[in-house]
Amino acid sequence: MDMCSDCQSIETHKRSASGHLNLRHQGYDKAKSYKPLGQAGVAIEIFKCESCGTLWEYEDDKNDQHVGWRLRR
């Protein structure tokens, strides 16, 4: 299935960028989540679009402005 227009509009690799209303939280990727020494932990959240089935992950790291939404491989 092709990516829906809502998924195509998601701004990737930008911290605090919005997703869209049809993304449903699927849990956390514990294998990719990490905790840098002396810093708060960084969790990778997994989302699935109910419209087109596209899988996304979202990383929120206050020390890196170039994380955020990315397609899940």
Q: Where are the domains of the chain?
A: 5-71
pLDDT of res. 1: 66
In this prediction the pTM is 0.84
* Helices and strands of the chain, counted as H and E runs: 1, 4
pLDDT of res. 42: 82
Q: 6 phi and psi, to 5 degrees? A: -65, -45
Q: Kindly list the averaged pLDDT for each block of 10 residues, start to end, along the chain of length 73.
A: 94 93 94 74 91 95 88 90
pLDDT of res. 25: 97
Query: Are 29 and 57 in contact, with CB atoms under 8 Å apart?
Result: yes
Query: Are 59 and 47 in contact, with CB atoms under 8 Å apart?
Result: no
Query: CA of 15: how far to CAs of 7, 61, 72, in Å?
Result: 16, 8, 16
